[in-house]
Structures are given as C-alpha cells and as structure tokens.
Chain A
Amino acid sequence: MSNTSFENETMDLPLTNVKQHKKNKYPQFIWLIPILAVLIGLSLVVKGIIDKGPTITIAFKSGEGLEAGKTHVKFKDMEIGVVKAVSLDKDRQKVIATIQLEKDTDDFLKADTRFWIVKPRITANGVSGLNTLLSGSYIVVDRGRAEEERKHFVALDVPPIQTQDTPGREFVLRASALDSHEVGTPIFYRRLTVGQVVGYALDDDGKGVSIKVFINAPYDQYVKNDSRFWNVSGVDVSLDATGFKVKTESIVSILAGGISFSTPENLEDKDQSTSMESDSLKPNSVETNNSPSERAVADTVFKLYKSREIAMKRRDVHVEHFVLNFKQSVRGLSVGAPVDFRGVNIGEVLSISTAIDPKTFEITQLVEISLYAERLRARSKVDGSIMPFPKTRAEELNRIKIFLNKGLRAQLQNGNFVTGQKYLAIDFFPKEPSYKLDVTKYPLELPVIPGALDDIESTFARVIKNTDKLINEIHTSTLPELNKTLVEVQNTLNQANSLVDDDSPLQTDTRLALRELTKTSDSLKKLTDSLDKSPQSLIFGKPAEKEKQ
C-alpha cells in the first residue's frame, strides 16, 4: 500500500525532541483581547451617551449659512453644539436646524433663550461678523432666564444688541412714528451713550410704534418715572418765532439718529425746563435729595417726544385752554407758536381754524391756545409769597374776570420780520372797552385787539386808499378841464403863430413901419446935425444953399 511505503520513506526524518516546558495554564488568555476591545468600545459608547447633550431644533427664515456638521453653536465664543441636520418644515415656510448640544447645556433650554446666526453685517452703527466671511456662519445663543423650558426655538432675524446677561434694564417708548430709529440707535443721557434701541414693533392697531430701548447699568438708575425721552435724530433745524435753531447731539446721532432722555428737575425748585443745561452743572446730590421721582421699573412705558422742547414742556400740569377770534389774517402763526406775556412764554398755540357766526355769517379765525398757569406764578407784592392757584372753577373764573376788567387782551405780534413768523402776545390794555366773558363757553374766549403792526398796516392802507381816491378824482374831473384848457392854449398859440408869419399883414405893416421909422430917424439925425452946425437956423431958418457949398 502507498500508505505503508510513505511511512517507510518518512522513517528517515528526524524525530522531534520532547521538551518539558512550562505548560500554558491559561490557554484562553487570548480571549482577553476581545474582552478588552468590548470594554473599550463600551466605554466609548457610555462616554458618547454621557457627553451627548440635549437635541434641540431652531427654525430659521432661510438656510443661508447653515451646514450640517459644520455650523457650530457658540456661547461667548465657545462651541457648545453643532448643527446635525438642516431640513425644511412641513409647510415649507422655515428651515429647521436640528442641533446637538454638548452635555451640561440643559440650562440653555429656557423659553426666552434666543438664537441667531452670525453673518457679516454692515449698518450705520458699524460692521460686525466679519470673521464669518472666512470661517462660515455660526449660531449664537443668548441664555434665557425664564423658568419654562423649551426644545424648539425660532431664530431671531437680526442679532439682538445685547445679550440677556448684560446688566441694565429695558424700557418701552411709544411714538407716533419710528423716524430714523433702528435697532442699535444710541440712547444718550447728558450726551453720554448709555444704551441702545433693541427692537421696535408696530402697535396692533397700527396707530403707533413701540420702541424697546435698553439702558446699560449703571445708567439705568437715571431713568426715573418722570423721565422724558425725545428724538435727537440727525440735525434738528427749526425755524420759528424765536428764530433759527440748529441742534445735534453727537456725530453718531447726526448719522444714525438717537434718543436722549433726561429727568426734569423738581418743579418747586426749577422754574424753567430750559434751564436744565445749567442745572446739570450743579452737584448731583442736590438733585437726588430733592427729586421725589423713583427709579423706573423695567419695561416702564414712556412717551417719545419729537424734541427736547416738547418733551420738557409737557410737565405743565395746570393747562388752561382758551380760544381767540381774530378778524384779521393769522398768516405766519403756526401751531406751536408761543404765547407770550411781557416776554415770558406762558403757552402755545394748539390749533388754528375758522369759525363762522351762523347768524351774520361773519367769519373769524379761531385760534385755540393753551396757557400754563404755573409759568405765571406771581409773588405777592405785599409779603413776597407765591400766590396760590385758584382751587375751584369759580375762583378761576373770577380771577380771569378781574384780569379782563383790567384790560387783558391777546394780540397777534410779529415775532420774526425775516421769516414772518408770528406769536401771540397777552398783555393788559387798560384803555380797551370792557369785555363781557361768556362763562358758559368752553374753552373760554379771550378778547383780541389788533396788533401794533396791524395799526400801522391799516393806517398805511388808509393812506393808500386816499391816494387812490385822489388819483381817481384827478382822473375823472380835473383831467377833462385840463384838456380843454390845453386845446385853447393850442388855439391861441396857433393864432399867435399866424400873426408872426413872414407874409402876414402884421409882419408887412411892421416892416413898413420900421422902414418909416428908420427914415424918420434919418431925417431927425439930419435935423440934429444941421442944428448942431447952425443952431441959429432954429430961429433964423435954414441958411441959403451957398452956405452949404
């Protein structure tokens, strides 16, 4: 058999030695390797699960800059998550980014946490997000503080101006229009930039705008309950009865607009709001000691005034309304024009309209004014104390009656000759006839007298009228007579002309007469000559011819 032959052949091969070496007691030692691998794998899995933070979704308006796996979520420039997936929502309105956050980020998931994407942005207030030009966009999170938790968010369209952990408070300003305010428009306090506009929204009824402003700490303490906010947008050029004014707050506000605020000083101590500037130089302690106004709480609503003047004017509490009926034109008088009492601004024009008397159809210009009684606080001449305000309506009426009896009248005055702006002056004219106040009317009507300029004007008009009449008279009666006379003169002249003509009989006669006259004088000369020669001839007659020879 082949088998046996093969075995015989192999018999020549050397026999293996047998060595009693240490026997492997753990033949299955090799299984430690997969066990180790499994342990490592498990630890990785466990670490992955532990490290895995919450998953959230954020809805964006567009998927611009969102890339799964590449776009990071950052908080204070630290990565805390990454976009896992980007998809459209069911109704194709928004882009939903699914975001995997890192561990220990659960405290970010509050209802008021805000997310937005950082992109390069150029606005009037500066340039931001330039680094994203190269690195790509990223999502920034602003940690909320609400109790309520949430996992689905909607991203902001524009980055908020400050994060929620910026110290300070938010307030709401209500204005009729947004004007040039934008998110980021600076807020000034005594010309210091202390905050920014952080948002705005049109009111639900569409009749106004609510502007959210954020005042940084510590400046937010200067926002008091009676603080006033006003526009300092751009350059404020105004032209009114007081003249031409240009006002700005800062270069930034010229370009980007701004809002300024201030708290009026206490009424009892400071008379005029316009004296604010000088007051601000006084030590602060005086102000804080005397000011009863409390620090405004966050989200207090303030009105946004158009200008500092308007903002500061409104603190007049006692506002009385009156109407004035002007018979002359009120051209040059504008709404807001000052009402002046001997140089003190005590009110303003509220409206200008037309009134008609239903019986006589007499049309007058109705001007409604408001008077701020506080501005006319008078000290008693007797003891120097400030006269108290009338407390009741009757008292008030009584006082007005007394003033009227003293000749209180309103008058339209020319404020600025260049611009033609007018203002209302109130003064006493004792010579004026007494005026019967109709107390049933509201607002009360104050009597008016023509202004000083009106007098001049009317006089001038009268002069012109008279001149006109004179000219007319000359035209109608004097001129025909003059014409007649002139014709006669003409005739006379013509006649005279004919008299002195060359071939006129008179001329001929005259010439003849003159010739005769010459002849006569000639002979007369002869006579005198002969007389000179022989004066005796007068007595003895002419000498004989002989003598002549």
Chain B
Amino acid sequence: MNSAAAHGILSCHACGLVSRASKNQHDMVCSRCETSLHFRKNNSISRAWAFLIAAYVFIIPANLLPVMETGSLFGSEKDTIISGVIFLWNSGSQALAFILFFASVFIPMAKLVSLTYLLISVQRRSTFQPKNRTKLYRILEFVGRWSMIDVYVAAMLTALVQFGSVMSIRVGNGAIAFGAVVVLTILAAESFDPRLIWDSIEKTKNNENFSKEKHV
C-alpha cells in the first residue's frame, strides 16, 4: 500500500495541493483552485490508445508522401523522408543522413512501439521491470519533441525559398502527416499515466497479501 491513491489521497495537478478524497470519490475538485481531481489521469489508457492508433495511421503517409516539393527552372522534384536520407547519404553527408534518419524515422517509430508496449503491459497488469518501463516513458517524453526537426526544416525552407519560377519549395502532404504523427505521439505520451505501471504492482502485492491473510 505504497501509493497515495490506495490511501485515498490525491494531488491537484494544477496547484499541487494534496488532499483527501471525499467519500464517494466522484466529481472531486481541488479545495483550493477548484480543478477537477482524479486519482489517475482520466481515461488514460483509452485516450493514449486513441492517439496512438491515429499516429499509426498517419505514419504511413508521412513516410510515403513527399515531404518537400522543390521546383526549379529545370523541373521539379519531390522528396520523401527516406529519399532525403538516401540523397544525403549518397552525396557524402553520412552524418546528416544519420541525424535525419534518427530524428525522422527511428524516433517516431520507436515512440510508437514503446508506447504500444507500455499500454499493453499496463493493460495486462504486467509486473515486469516497472522501473525500466518508467525510465522508458521518461525518455519518450523527452525525446518526442525532437522529431519535429523535419517539419521545422520544411516549414522554414518553404518560407524562405520562394523565388517564383527560379526556385520554390513547397511543403508536401507527407510533412503534414509527419507533423500529425509527432503531435499525436506527444499527446499519447501525455495521456499515458506512468503511475499505472506501479498500480498493477501494488494490486498484485495487495492480492498476495490478501491471499496470505486468508490462508493464515
């Protein structure tokens, strides 16, 4: 019984005031700032799933559709993320290619997979390495915003390189999808409540205790 929730105590996530839950434990608001209070994030798992699934859907066009459409005097070119990586790699900028690949392909995918794993593990009330899973969540949260680099670059170039027919860059649909992926994963990570990882452990502990008491 290490969690505050088990003791009927909860904190306000707006002003941080810790208070005791009322008897029925419903529709509680902070006595100080009147923010509605929950023991755990409301609908955490289903919200996370919803964002995650949406992100999964958008990651497909994000990788297949062109991110940037470069038009110049001598024809136009459409680049997807992968083609950009390949171009950078072939043109000798392996480091840049690696950064682009890491930020735009690897991290979003890793985020999706990690979040999926966290959600499934929580739903199955897994007790497997709760500390590492929490660490994974922290990393996810931190690293998430970095994958916006791609979108920033495309948006910047679009704004800067507009010389009419000589040279112009447009943001492709892929960039929009990619931005959606990044935002959705951030939202999903936000929705996920890492305390749930520990709740299942608490519960199993309680159960164990309960059964022990029963047997005794």
Q: CB within 8 Å of B: which residues of A?
A: 3, 6-7, 10-11, 13-21, 23, 27-28, 30-31, 33-34, 36-38, 40-41, 44, 69-70, 72, 131, 134-136, 138
Taking a contact as CB atoms under 8 Å apart, the answer to whether A41 and B60 are in contact is yes
Alpha-carbon gap, A37 to B54, bound state (A): 5
B2-45 interface code vs A (CB 8 A; 1 in, 0 out): 00000111100000011111101011111110101100000100
> Across the interface, which residues of B come within 8 angstroms of A37, CB to CB?
53-55, 57-58, 180, 184
Per the bound structure, the CA–CA distance linking A7 and B4 in Å amounts to 10
- Pairs A–B under 8 Å by Cβ, sample size 16: A11-B20, A14-B20, A16-B30, A17-B28, A18-B28, A19-B36, A27-B43, A30-B46, A30-B50, A33-B184, A37-B55, A37-B57, A37-B180, A38-B54, A41-B57, A72-B75
Partner of B74, one of A16, A38, A69, A134: A134
Nearest residue in B to A71 (C-beta to C-beta)?
B75
Shortest beta-carbon distance, A438 to chain B, in Å? 81
| Bound: A70/B180 CA distance, A | 28
Binding site for A on B (CB under 8 A): 1, 7-10, 17-22, 24, 26-32, 34, 36-37, 43, 46-47, 49-55, 57-58, 60-61, 65, 73-75, 77, 83, 173, 180, 184
Known: A13-B18, A44-B173. 13 other contacts (CB 8 A): A10-B7, A14-B17, A16-B22, A17-B22, A17-B30, A18-B27, A21-B29, A28-B46, A34-B49, A34-B50, A37-B58, A40-B57, A69-B83
Number of A-B contacts (CB under 8 A): 106
CA of A341 to CA of B61, assembled, Å: 90
Shortest CB–CB separation between residue B199 and chain A, in angstroms? Answer: 18
Which residues of A have CB within 8 Å of B65?
44
A16 touches B21 (CB 8 A): yes
B75-A136 in contact (CB<8A) = yes
Q: Which residues of B contact A17 (CB under 8 A)?
A: 22, 28-31, 34
Please name the residue on chain A nearest to B4 by beta carbon. Answer: A10
Taking CB atoms, residues of chain B closer than 8 Å to A20 are 27
With A3-B1, A17-B31 in contact, do A34 and B54 touch (Cβ < 8 Å)?
A: yes
CA separation between A135 and B76, bound complex, in Å? Answer: 9
* Shortest distance between the CB of A529 and any CB in chain B (Å): 146
Pairs of residues from A and B, 8 with the lowest C-beta to C-beta distance, nearest first: A135-B74, A37-B54, A34-B53, A16-B28, A37-B57, A34-B54, A41-B57, A19-B29
Complex contact B75–A38 (CB within 8 A):
no
Whether B43 contacts A18 by the Cβ 8 Å rule is no
In the complex formed, the residue of B with least CB distance to A32 is B50
Most-contacted residue by chain B among A16, A23, A40, A41 (CB, 10 A): A16
Report the minimal beta-carbon distance from B95 to chain A, rounded to whole angstroms: 24
Bound CA span A131–B73, Å:
10
Q: Out of B26, B50, B77, name the residue touching A33 (CB < 8 Å).
A: B50
A259 to B86, CA, bound (A): 53
Chain A min CB distance to B166 (Å): 13
Which residue of B26, B52, B54 contacts A18 across the interface (Cβ within 8 Å)? B26
Cross-chain contact A41 with B74 (CB below 8 angstroms):
no
B83 touches A13 (CB 8 A): no
Residues on B with C-beta less than 8 A from A131 are: 74
Min CB gap A51→B, angstroms: 12
